[in-house]
Amino acid sequence: MLPIGGRKSTPYVEVNELRKLFPVQRSLIAQVFARTPAENVRAVDGITFSVERGDVFGLVGESGSGKTTTGRITAGLIRPTEGSVTVDGAELFAIPKPQLRRLRKKMQFVYQDPLSSLNPKMMVGDAVGEPLRYLSDDSASKRRDSVFNLLDRVGLSPADSFFYRYPHQLSGGQRQRVVIARALSINPEYIVADEPVAMVDVSVRAQIMDLLLTMQRELNLTILLITHDLAVAKYMCNRIAVMYLGRIMEYAKTEDLFTHPLHPYTQALLAAVPIPDPRKRSEKKIPSGEIPSALNPPTGCVFHPRCPKVFDKCSRDVPQLLEHENGHYVACHLYA
Amino acid sequence: MDQLLQVESLTVEYRTGDAIATAVQAVSLDLKRGETLGLVGESGSGKSTFGLAVMGLIRPPGYVTDGKLTFDGTDIRSLTNEQLRELRGKKVAMIFQDPMTSLNPVKKVGDHFIEYIRAHDRDASEQSARSTAKTVLEDLGIPASRVDDYPHQFSGGMRQRVMIGLALALKPSLIIADEPTTALDVIVEAQILKQLSDLKEKYSLSLILITHNMGIVAEMADRVAVMYAGRLAEVAPAVSIFEQPKHPYTQALLDSIPNILTSDKVLKTIPGSPPDLTTPPSGCPFHPRCRYVFDRCRKEVPMLIETGGASAAACFLLEGEKARRT
């Protein structure tokens, strides 16, 4: 197993050789007459990483990179095809149900779109208190007190003015605060946040990012942050794994990744980010083409058809994710 | 460079039920020939409505209630529907955010061109429209042979290129691009933006680029207009906006966005959120969130004040600055 992440402290989440294939729906006619084997989308294709307790770990990639699928598996929402996920020492997909139920209390998911993850007919207070109803033994009045506390905590104060409101009466940023309060209600240890600021107004994004970071510090949460936005990942994460077509291409401490990106894909991603400084306009070296289909990924290194530094080995052999420098891993034949 | 577009005191309202939302309020903006204007704002700032108004595309429940729009000497508001149809496509064209919902899935890419070209130019033959389609696709790096493919056979980036191609088909002098890359991944976004600026030269276009992304504005725009809650907060050359922002909203916005090049960890958050346009705040719309707010901001609406160097901002703080300079 690759010793990704910290070596001394025990990791909170360990993902080992994780693979997730989604079968492609074929029409009945195709199933009966076409003797072709069933096709699979290789959403996640053998990745290994671990997240230390209390860390903010970023999974960065474009759409179709497998980052959300990975996040959903580590939160126990879907089963992997192969590989294992260990959360707080317990193997997520091998433990008996009662134990899994206890483990679930420690894990929460924050989705991208707060409006569609809140029931429009449920008042804010009820929405935030709902996980407690199912997962705690607290009395109704105790749950109510917890909800008031939570609302204050996530900046929805005075809490009694928000408790009785409906989602449509809130701004986008306030809704995302409700979603975060709900995720925190059962005192989780691990939060998977999938693009938590992508649908929030630009002037409100910093508030939400800071709220997540404050909660992380105060409650010593372990956060897996899924984002396509490198600037958001840089601001929030201590470590980042860059994914492309279901594989991890590079993994490093945030600072190392941004000052010294090794993988040609990471370099391309960073070059493509528009910089808010008109004096930094320059001729960019942008790879051509787009992310290929995960139905039929390229042979060898999945990035080789677009890579500016491609050589013969790249189309043949799959590069392993290897440590290049202290704690900086890259899956590229250039460094092997 | 002479003026291509002059917008004076444009006001657009949306009337729904008993509520009136003023999406654009007394906005005046000019665009020179060959210029790229970045129109920046959050959702609800009125930036898209501004673009639609220039196209003459405000439909009930939306109404242009005030203002004058002059495009290349023509008063847009005085045009008949027939004349507007001529203006759109041939003079001004628009690119929208989501290419998948803008393209008809059961229609070949080439047929989109034929339909679009003949809708705005009755004299165009099918053959000539088809050959225009091929030329434009080639210009965008798409092989002409793909003119008979359906949109679903194209990748997301290629579909957005088709949208740009449609906008270019009748050789307009102004393109309004409303969040043209927001639905795309970052590498494809960079490819499309590069292509857009190359084609701008080739087709000698002017461009209004509507976006919420300050990075894109910095990469593309000559001049930047910042909108907030339906009003123009600031307008200035791109370098001035980023280096000497005058309006507290522009300053706060720039302080609150993370940048991959800078290493300082602290972002300054802006309290609160953009207002509901049916019940806008009194006075300056930004006053509830402004760190410099004083009494007058709650009562009066600040007018745009020239701050030198072709810059202007709508903030009372600048009155003192102006008095000192003169």
Q: How far is CA A32 from CA A22, A29, A40, A41, in A?
A: 20, 5, 18, 21
Q: CB-based contacts of A29: which residues, under 8 Å, 6+ apart?
A: none
| Residue-level pLDDT at B229 | 96
**pLDDT-based confidence at residue B322 (cuts at 50, 70, 90):** low
Question: Which of B184, B214, B269 is the best substitution to test chain A (most A C-beta atoms within 10 A)?
Answer: B269
Query: Residue A63 and residue B238: Cβ atoms within 8 Å?
Result: no
CB distance A242 to A61 below 8 Å: yes
Tens-digit pLDDT profile for residues B25-73: 999 999 999 999 999 999 889 999 999 999 999 999 999 999 999 999 9
Comparison of pLDDT for A27 and B189, the residue scoring more: B189
**pLDDT-based confidence at residue A280 (cuts at 50, 70, 90):** confident
Q: How far is CA B34 from the centre of its chain?
A: 15
Query: Residue B194 and residue A284: Cβ atoms within 8 Å?
Result: yes
| Residue-level pLDDT at A3 | 46
Q: Reduced to 3 states, what is the DSSP secondary structure of residue B28? A: strand
**% of chain B exceeding 90 in pLDDT:** 79
Q: Is the pLDDT of residue A204 over 70?
A: yes
Q: Is the pLDDT of residue A6 over 60?
A: no
Q: What is the mean pLDDT of residues A74-93?
A: 94
| Residue-level pLDDT at B325 | 60
Q: What is the mean pLDDT of residues A146-175?
A: 93
Comparison of pLDDT for A289 and B75, the residue scoring more: B75
> Looking at beta carbons, which residues of chain B come within 8 Å of A197?
none
Q: What is the mean pLDDT of residues B167-189?
A: 93
Closest CA to B156 of B177, B185, B199, B178: B185
CB distance B192 to B141 below 8 Å: no
Q: What is the mean pLDDT of residues A68-92?
A: 95
Q: Is the pLDDT of residue B1 over 60?
A: no
Phi, psi of B5 (to 5 degrees): -135, 135
Q: Residues 11-40, chain B: which have Cβ within 8 Å of A? A: none
Nearest chain B Cα distance for residue A231, angstroms:
5
Query: Residue B191 and residue A230: Cβ atoms within 8 Å?
Result: no
- C-alpha–C-alpha distance, residues B322 and B82, integer Å: 46
Closest CA to A227 of A256, A199, A262, A260: A199
| Residue-level pLDDT at A36 | 66
Q: Residues 251-290, chain B: which have Cβ within 8 Å of A? A: 252-254, 256-261, 263, 265, 267-271, 273-274, 289
Query: Residue A286 and residue B271: Cβ atoms within 8 Å?
Result: no
Nearest chain B Cα distance for residue A167, angstroms:
15
CB distance B186 to A272 below 8 Å: yes
Nearest chain A Cα distance for residue B6, angstroms:
25
Tens-digit pLDDT profile for residues A143-156: 999 999 999 999 99
> Looking at beta carbons, which residues of chain B come within 8 Å of A278?
218-219, 221, 238-239, 242
Q: What is the mean pLDDT of residues B267-271?
A: 89
**pLDDT-based confidence at residue A101 (cuts at 50, 70, 90):** confident
| Residue-level pLDDT at A192 | 97
Per-residue burial over B270-286, b = 16 or more CB atoms within 10 Å of its CB, e = otherwise? bebbbbebeebeebbbb
Q: Is the pLDDT of residue B102 over 50?
A: yes
Per domain, the residue ranges of chain B are 248-326
- C-alpha–C-alpha distance, residues A90 and A100, integer Å: 9
Of the partner residues B187, B258, B270, the one whose CB lies closest to the CB of residue A268:
B187
| Residue-level pLDDT at B155 | 87
Give ∠ CA B248-B250-B252 in degrees, rounded to 5.
65
Helix (H) or strand (E) holding B295: helix B295-299
Closest CA to A182 of A219, A228, A147: A147
| Residue-level pLDDT at B162 | 94
| Residue-level pLDDT at B324 | 64
Question: Which of B39, B155, B226, B273 is the best substitution to test chain A (most A C-beta atoms within 10 A)?
Answer: B273
Q: Which two tokens stand for residue A183?
A: 């995720």
Average pLDDT of every residue of chain A: 91
CB pairs under 8 A between A and B: 130
Interface membership of B212 toward A (CB under 8 Å): yes
Average pLDDT of every residue of chain B: 92
